[in-house]
Amino acid sequence: MAASVVSLPAAARMPAAAPLAAARIFGADRKKAVAQEFEAVFLSNMLEEMFAGLAEEGPMGAGAGAGTWRSLLTEQYAKTIAAKGGVGLADQVHRQLIALQETSP
């Protein structure tokens, strides 16, 4: 009976230092985009919590799909806030990515 071969995804085969090596591949623009996306996700979570306490009224209404539409709206709010400068989290993450890249072997 032949043994079946299981192929692991490329990320699973990478050594532990590979993420740092992969960070060198990203240009400055990519690092900024990743940092901004991180800030948008953070802000989206914060806005979700903020809107959780509001009554189910307004443009979303109180129907069955209100939760879905509200989450899409808060996600868009977060992306817009992050794109306009956000709360400064993206700048900190970007600086940290650069520092990690400079100190990695």
Tell me the C-alpha distance between 45 and 61, whole Å: 21
**Whole-prediction pTM value?**
0.63
Identity of the residue numbered 74 = T
At residue 8, does pLDDT exceed 50?
A: no
What tens digit of pLDDT does each residue of 24-83 get? 555 778 888 899 999 999 999 999 888 877 766 665 566 777 777 888 888 999 999 999
User: Is the distance from CB of 51 to CB of 61 less than 8 angstroms?
Assistant: no
3-state secondary structure 33-49: HHHHHHHHHHHHHHHHH
CB-based contacts of 41: which residues, under 8 Å, 6+ apart?
A: 78
* Residue ranges of domains in the chain: 22-52+61-103
DSSP 8-state class, residue 64: T
